[in-house]
Structure 1
Amino acid sequence: MCLNLWINSLFACFCFLSSFFFRVSVVKCSDSSIVSTFDLPKTALLELSPLNNVLVTWQPYKTKDCPQGEANLQIWQLHSGQLMKALYQKKVESWCPCWSDDETICVRSVNNELHFYENNDLNTIANKLHMQKVSDFALSPGAQPCKVAVYVPGSKGAPAFVRLYQYPSLGGTSAALANKSFFKADKVCMQWNKKASAVLVTASTEVDKTGASYYGEQTLHYLGANGETALVQLAKNGPIYDVAWSPNSSEFCVVYGFMPAKATIFNLKCDPVFDFGTGPRNASYYSPQGHILVLAGFGNLRGQMEVWDVKKYKQVSKPQAPDSTHFSWCPDGEHVVTATCSPRLRVSNGYKIWHYTGSVLHKWEVAANSELWEVQWQPFPEGTFPERPIKYQAAPSDLGSTQAPPTQAYRPPALRHLPATASSKLHEEELPQNMRPGVPGEKSKSALKNQKKREAKKAARQETRSEPSSEHAHSRPPATDSQSEPSSGKCLHDWFECLKEQQASGKVLQKNQLDKIQKEEQLLKELEELQI
């Protein structure tokens, strides 16, 4: 059982604490030996490369000692302490270069370009991607070939867009693997799946012009490395709180909508697979093995967690961790940690280790006048912990469990002596898809809506093919059942009634069909005279 907690990655927390003493020290956690020490008294941000070969430091561009500005982004070779490159980086946004997992490629945003470096040779630009007003990018995870998603904001009525490229083919629109344009985007968040086969783009605006939401507007877009793109259709209006890829890269979970929020799992065709109904939630977390999903409500919510078996779509437990500011899975897929950290909350700082069945296994609180800033699990190589069968009985613990108590809707004092009715509920609550009345496993509302649209289009096509030509309607009435042998006048009358029903339903008729409806009495009279 893996219950050891490490702070930050491997060295970063030690670097941050040491910077208060006017230097940055890199300490090896296994034996507490000092690897390197840097005299950087103004360091504000630190970052380590994926394989811990490079340390990146950032300090404010302008200071009292240097009002004209200085090379404030410094890249160091970690073990030797040698300065590899000193660069100018005025803005904090996207301050740090981004590496591929094997550190063979490094990318940095410079003005309207992306500069690519290879094998940590930061003195030679190996490749460039030049696009007008590139605002953000996201490098794909995993092995080579490496892919990059780039975002360009809209301007002067033109839409914003995201494009996918595969390194080193970076030459314009023709070389793009996928391209998705959209409006209503002040900023985006781009998330690759684990296999680097698709990326999800959450586009946000700062202000909702309709006035419906304090959080602005959000839309979710899908781009596949195979060129497929789509807008993810969400079944409830409101903000998008969280988007999480499953580790198997074949599905993703979205938490969205005005409170109580909905949570839905979608497949790679952006079709809903399972609807979890509504609840007090704003975050979702897949286990490292992808077999368990936690839906949680942290921040301004009560800290309720819903633990789900995503293969059987069965709820395992419903613990509650109030005042939590941090949640993360242990690499073994059996345990989670919740923590209350500063500066988000400066009181009751501490952490709890849970089993996913809801049992609290360990609890720790900081001493008085102390603060907890960050908690992370010790990292392990992928595949160290295989998937284990899911248990539904609470794991034994001396600290017990904290299952969320059943909640009731608020009722004003004047109504509390009366029996509760459905109309007295503050919010309309939806049960998970497989717990609703009706046939088990019934389709969600959005799936049924899409199915009805497809059926309506199919019926309209069949009706168009079977509809008689309006030009010859008066001379060749529609065919009828030979057994009933109705008269030709009756068939023509039925055809006129069909046109009237289509017109009443909102269908746009052709001009000659409208003329025939106006001349209905005349045509029927002519037909009757011909029959006589």
Structure 2
Amino acid sequence: MSSIPSIAGLTNKELFLFECKEPFQEKTLRDETTKNIRSIVFSPKGTYLAYRTDKKAEIIKCADWSVAASINGNIKEMFFSPLDTYFMVWEMFAMTKENPEGKANLHICKSDSGSVVGSFVQKHQTGWEPQWSSDEKLVALQIAGKVLIYEDGKLDRFTHQIQSEKLKSFSISPSPAPAYYFSVFNLGKSGQPSSWKIFKYPEFGQALVSRSSFQADKAAFHWNRRGTNIFTITQTDVDKTGGSYYGKQSLSHGDVKGNSGNMTFSKEGPIHAIAWNPNNWNEWVAVYGHAPAKATLFNAKCEPLFEFGTGAWNSIYYSPDGNYVILAGFGNIAAGQVSVWDARSPRRLGACAAPATTWLQWGPRAECFLTATTYPRLTTGNQYKIWHYTGALLHKRECQDKEQLLYLLWQPGTFPKSELSKPTVRGIEESTPKPTAAYRPPGARNKPSTFTFHEHEAPHKPGESGAAPSKAAIKQKEKREARKARKAEEKAQDPSPPRAAAAAAPRPAFVSTGDPDKDKKIKNINKKLADIEKLKQMKAAGKPLEINQKQKIETEAALLKEIEQLRL
């Protein structure tokens, strides 16, 4: 494997590769003679790259980009197991005259040879994927209200099962042997609540955690890296209260010690995203609330550690090493604002704007990330960009006429750091987000705006105020500054200290001349005289002045004379 990570891209014309280094030259891996390449996927360890067409899936070895195996079939979905050992493919389930009951359409193959080690019937495209433990000792499939569990790669007979009439989804924790945990979501029967539970394998008779809700039609599970803590987002298909376009959400948590509870946030609104730090099992980030959304760093006990403030965000992307985290807004947030933070001691490192982005992914060295506008999500403006982790744009490539960008993926793996790990690099163009005019529908143009401004909250630690100051606070601050100015003036006029300031020359009080233009000029001159007075106090106190400050003091006499002439 090369010491430099590769990026694989797929367009409607070719499958290409290029290394993450200048001059970013693309190399064709498969051209138009390989027709109808539909998608690509890297194995988790970066050993293989696979692509599928309407007739086959082909596995390529990344060491030399040669073919490792080819699997025939009209394959619609594919992925690799955690250690790259197995390759799963799924075809549409079909019943024919020859097979009136249908035939197996999920095949588990060996990645290095393509040989099939297990085949199953999975009728539905949603939830067809087998789930593996992180060490590949266990693999589980959800089939007809059951979770069937197989051990040690022996797929001819399952060893354990979890059964429920309304079993909707499940998840295996990433914890290493011998402690494996399963989370299971059961849809409630008529008049009964839905529930999610945690079980320790293979003791499925007694749940470690059980949480129930009458407002849950589906669930998404989020385990931390060690597999000891889990967050579950439950959601209804429809929010009957009308508070959300999607469905009513709730967030609950549990751990393998049996602790559990519900999570509430400090701002009302939807839960846009949550993500665990991949290198710190005790930290996670949530983006939540009505626009502008709020982002907060929590520990595993749901205690806030840092407030990122508010922004046009709905996505979270941790770098593979957990050192950096991106807060971004894509999809229905057209501006595509990207904010990069140092996750170790939270502070913002940089920002950029990537409008119309449909895909963002960190590089394996956590030095760069890429953004892409892909087809068919967006049919025009297909392109990709590579960014330094501080937000500097390093490379940009736009699709040509009739060219569509379908996929773009970093090769996973462990690679040595490069010069890009430095905090300062030279970008190819300005990448700082620029303010744009707010969109107004045609019917509202040329009419008074009814928009209500929302104050954006600045980053701060819990306990500190992150909100914008109120009018009363601003007024109090002005009073304090005025008192300080009066005290400084009195001190400067006191002759008792050795370096006391000389008595200030009297400045004419403002009296209206009856001419608005003259009054405006007099006020401006008085401001300049006030600045000169401060400089004179600094000089009397022994502070060194710059040349331009000394020259400003010398203009005092001319300014006083100008005021006298204006009052004539």
TM-score range, shorter chain: 0.7 to 0.9
Deviation at 1:253, TM superposition (A): 1.1
> Could you tell me which of 452, 457, 480 is aligned with 1:426?
452
Which string of whole-angstrom CA distances, capped at 9 and with x for unpartnered residues, describes residues 143-179 of structure 1?
2122111111122222221111222222x23xx2222
How many residues are paired up?
423
Deviation at 1:216, TM superposition (A): 1.6
After superposition, residues 250-329 of structure 1 pair within 5 angstroms as 250-301=282-333, 302-329=335-362
Deviation at 1:201, TM superposition (A): 0.4
Q: Does the 8 Å CA contact 2:298/2:306 hold for their aligned counterparts?
A: yes
Q: Percent identity?
A: 34
44-53 or 201-210: bigger deviation: 44-53
> Could you tell me which of 390, 408, 432 is aligned with 1:375?
408
> Could you tell me which of 113, 117, 121 is aligned with 1:88?
121
Tell me which protein shows more strand as a share of its residues: 2
Q: Does the 8 Å CA contact 1:277/1:429 hold for their aligned counterparts?
A: no
How far, CA to CA, are the matches of 1:313 and 1:401 in structure 2? Answer: 25
Task: Give the structure 1 partner of residue 541 of structure 2.
Answer: none
Does residue 1:442 correspond to 2:468, yes or no?
no
Q: Does the 8 Å CA contact 1:333/1:387 hold for their aligned counterparts?
A: no
Q: Does the 8 Å CA contact 1:216/1:239 hold for their aligned counterparts?
A: no
TM-score normalised by the chain length of structure 1: 0.73
How far, CA to CA, are the matches of 2:348 and 2:451 in structure 1? Answer: 24
CA distance change for structure 1 residues 252 and 363 in 2, over 3 Å: closer, same or farther?
A: same
Task: Give the structure 1 partner of residue 6 of structure 2.
Answer: 4
Task: Give the structure 1 partner of residue 434 of structure 2.
Answer: 405
2:51 aligned counterpart, secondary structure: helix
Deviation at 1:409, TM superposition (A): 6.4
How far, CA to CA, are the matches of 1:291 and 1:74 in structure 2? Answer: 38
CA distance change for structure 1 residues 81 and 212 in 2, over 3 Å: closer, same or farther?
A: closer
CA distance change for structure 1 residues 386 and 78 in 2, over 3 Å: closer, same or farther?
A: closer
Deviation at 1:289, TM superposition (A): 2.4
> Could you tell me which of 118, 128, 144 is aligned with 1:111?
144
How far, CA to CA, are the matches of 2:221 and 2:250 in structure 1? Answer: 12
Q: Does the 8 Å CA contact 2:460/2:466 hold for their aligned counterparts?
A: no
Task: Give the structure 1 partner of residue 226 of structure 2.
Answer: 195
Q: Does the 8 Å CA contact 1:263/1:277 hold for their aligned counterparts?
A: yes
Task: Give the structure 2 partner of residue 185 of structure 1.
Answer: 216
Q: Does the 8 Å CA contact 1:12/1:46 hold for their aligned counterparts?
A: no
After superposition, residues 50-199 of structure 1 pair within 5 angstroms as 50-62=82-94, 68-144=101-177, 145-170=179-204, 172-173=205-206, 176-199=207-230
Task: Give the structure 1 partner of residue 66 of structure 2.
Answer: 33
> Could you tell me which of 35, 48, 51 is aligned with 1:15?
51
CA distance change for structure 1 residues 407 and 363 in 2, over 3 Å: closer, same or farther?
A: closer
After superposition, residues 469-480 of structure 1 pair within 5 angstroms as none
Which string of whole-angstrom CA distances, capped at 9 and with x for unpartnered residues, describes residues 448-467 of structure 1?
xxxxxxxxxxxxxxxxxxxx
Deviation at 1:193, TM superposition (A): 0.6
Deviation at 1:50, TM superposition (A): 1.9
1:373 aligned counterpart, secondary structure: strand
2:407 aligned counterpart, secondary structure: coil
Deviation at 1:365, TM superposition (A): 2.5
2:221 aligned counterpart, secondary structure: strand
Task: Give the structure 1 partner of residue 425 of structure 2.
Answer: 395
Deviation at 1:272, TM superposition (A): 2.4
After superposition, residues 311-390 of structure 1 pair within 5 angstroms as 311-381=344-414
Which string of whole-angstrom CA distances, capped at 9 and with x for unpartnered residues, describes residues 331-373 of structure 1?
2222111111111112222211111211111122333322222
How far, CA to CA, are the matches of 2:231 and 2:402 in structure 1? Answer: 42
How far, CA to CA, are the matches of 1:43 and 1:8 in structure 2? Answer: 13
Task: Give the structure 2 partner of residue 458 of structure 1.
Answer: none
Q: Does the 8 Å CA contact 1:140/1:192 hold for their aligned counterparts?
A: yes
AA partner of residue 4 (structure 1): S
How far, CA to CA, are the matches of 2:300 and 2:222 in structure 1? Answer: 14
Deviation at 1:415, TM superposition (A): 6.0
Task: Give the structure 1 partner of residue 75 of structure 2.
Answer: 43
Instruction: Show structure 1 runs of 5+ residues with no match.
Output: 417-423, 446-532
1:324 aligned counterpart, secondary structure: coil
Which string of whole-angstrom CA distances, capped at 9 and with x for unpartnered residues, describes residues 66-95 of structure 1?
665222222223333332222211111111
Instruction: Show structure 2 runs of 5+ residues with no match.
Output: 9-39, 468-568
How far, CA to CA, are the matches of 1:323 and 1:284 in structure 2? Answer: 17
After superposition, residues 484-499 of structure 1 pair within 5 angstroms as none
TM-score normalised by the chain length of structure 2: 0.69
Q: Does the 8 Å CA contact 2:49/2:62 hold for their aligned counterparts?
A: no
After superposition, residues 513-524 of structure 1 pair within 5 angstroms as none
Deviation at 1:240, TM superposition (A): 1.3
How far, CA to CA, are the matches of 2:416 and 2:189 in structure 1? Answer: 48
Task: Give the structure 1 partner of residue 517 of structure 2.
Answer: none
> Could you tell me which of 262, 268, 271 is aligned with 1:237?
268
Deviation at 1:31, TM superposition (A): 2.1
Which string of whole-angstrom CA distances, capped at 9 and with x for unpartnered residues, describes residues 488-532 of structure 1?
xxxxxxxxxxxxxxxxxxxxxxxxxxxxxxxxxxxxxxxxxxxxx
Question: Cα RMSD (Å) of the superposition?
Answer: 2.8
How far, CA to CA, are the matches of 2:240 and 2:281 in structure 1? Answer: 35
Considering Cα pairs closer than 8 Å and 6+ residues apart, tell me whether 1 or 2 has the greater RCO.
2
CA distance change for structure 1 residues 370 and 386 in 2, over 3 Å: closer, same or farther?
A: closer
AA partner of residue 274 (structure 2): V
CA distance change for structure 1 residues 58 and 215 in 2, over 3 Å: closer, same or farther?
A: same
How far, CA to CA, are the matches of 1:373 and 1:12 in structure 2? Answer: 19
How far, CA to CA, are the matches of 2:222 and 2:246 in structure 1? Answer: 20
